Amino acid sequence: MGLFKKWFGKDKSHNEQNNETQNQEEQKEVLLEADVETENENEASYYAEEVQDTENEEEEVNDAAESEEENVISEDADMDSDIENDSFSESDFSEAVSSEEVTEESPKPKMGFFSKLVKGLTKTRSNIMEGIDQVLKSFKKIDEELFEELEEALIMADIGVDTTLNIINGLRIKVKEQKITDASELKQLLIEEISSLLERGDHEIHVDEGPTVILVIGVNGVGKTTTIGKLAHNMKQQNKKVLLAAADTFRAAAIDQLEVWGNRAGVDVIRHQENSDPAAVIFDAVQAAKSRKTDVLICDTAGRLHNKKNLMEELRKIFRIISREYPEARKEVLLVLDATTGQNALQQVKLFKEVADITGIILTKLDGTAKGGIIIAINSEMNIPVKYIGVGEGIDDLQPFNPQEFAKALFAEENNDSL
């Protein structure tokens, strides 16, 4: 009996639980149906509002279109009225167009090389002229004391002792010949005297007279390779066919640097591997120049001076190859000097003159120094003409040297832009 009650009670409890579960599921279904109905009602309300908004927007667009159409009609009417009342003639229109053309901003003219030269020599000019002007303002009459003061001012301006003495002696002669007594007239005499010193020698490279081989030498660090790239560009601007030879095979990255400049100038470069024989590079470059009918072959060479014997032998070997393989070509040996080194540049000329027959000087970086007066000493004392000068970092800032224009720019007497 106890066992029956136990099982019966269990079955009853199990049935109650089933009934409760069934009731819970029915309640869930009712709630879900209610939620679905509510969601459907909300969705219907949402779409009804959206349709209403769309209708309102369409009404606004239609109203705006009607309003715009009315405005266009009104503007057309006003325009017709203006055209009927306007007396704007063709001549007035021409004047208006002309006026607009005048008011347009005209392009700035490109600075010529003479203007760059005047600007680039600012530091050098100040270094020289401050002392000279001070002397000329202190004297009204020309006497020996004035010449001594001028002599000191020129030496202090890096023109050099020997060159200064030549200038002062020339001034004395001209003063006597022209019977000049006013100290203010000495400035023009200085320009003439300096010009006469700078004019010594042949300042041109005669590339029009046949094929030309240019050997460029100079100590490392003076901008030799950069100068070669600019020189190649300058020659190409003269419609010359140019070829470069990378014969400075021992300096690190010299070959790659020359190739970069060759690409900038649009010029081919003959090269070998680093540490190869420079003379072999020159040989291949000469053969290439001959076969391509090149006008100018520019050769980069080693710039070390610590062992002059090896450098001399190397240059002699290069000269022999050029003379043997390319006898019809004109030869130029150009020494690149950094103007910022001042009197040290004069020493470099003396050292290189011992190992090579230098035909010309390229003086760079004149725009960054107050020691540009050294160009006068180089041309006067070493008897080697300056062929090119550089007054900037741009590829167009290396130009043929003109003694008269240099003297005018040095004393700031700018009256043209002929360069």
Within 10 angstroms of residue 276's Cβ, the number of other Cβ atoms is: 15
Distances (CA, A) of 137 to 129, 132, 146, 154: 12, 9, 10, 16
User: Which residues lie below 8 Å from residue 3, measured CB to CB, with a gap of 6+?
Assistant: none
CA dihedral 231, 235, 241, 247 (to 10 degrees): -20
Binding site as annotated, residues: 218-225, 300-304, 364-367
Tokens of 280: 């072999």
User: Which residues lie below 8 Å from residue 117, measured CB to CB, with a gap of 6+?
Assistant: 366, 389, 391, 405, 406, 409, 419
The answer to whether residues 360 and 335 touch, using CB atoms and an 8 Å cutoff, is yes
User: Which residues lie below 8 Å from residue 181, measured CB to CB, with a gap of 6+?
Assistant: 141, 142
The answer to whether residues 195 and 403 touch, using CB atoms and an 8 Å cutoff, is yes
Phi first, then psi: give them for residue 296, nearest 5 degrees. -135, 125
Query: Which residue has tokens 């990378």?
Result: 246
User: Which residues lie below 8 Å from residue 383, measured CB to CB, with a gap of 6+?
Assistant: 200, 201
Strands 398-400 and 386-390, bridge-based pairing: antiparallel
Distances (CA, A) of 13 to 4, 5, 23, 364, 415: 14, 12, 15, 112, 123
Binding site as annotated, residues for GTP: 218-225, 300-304, 364-367
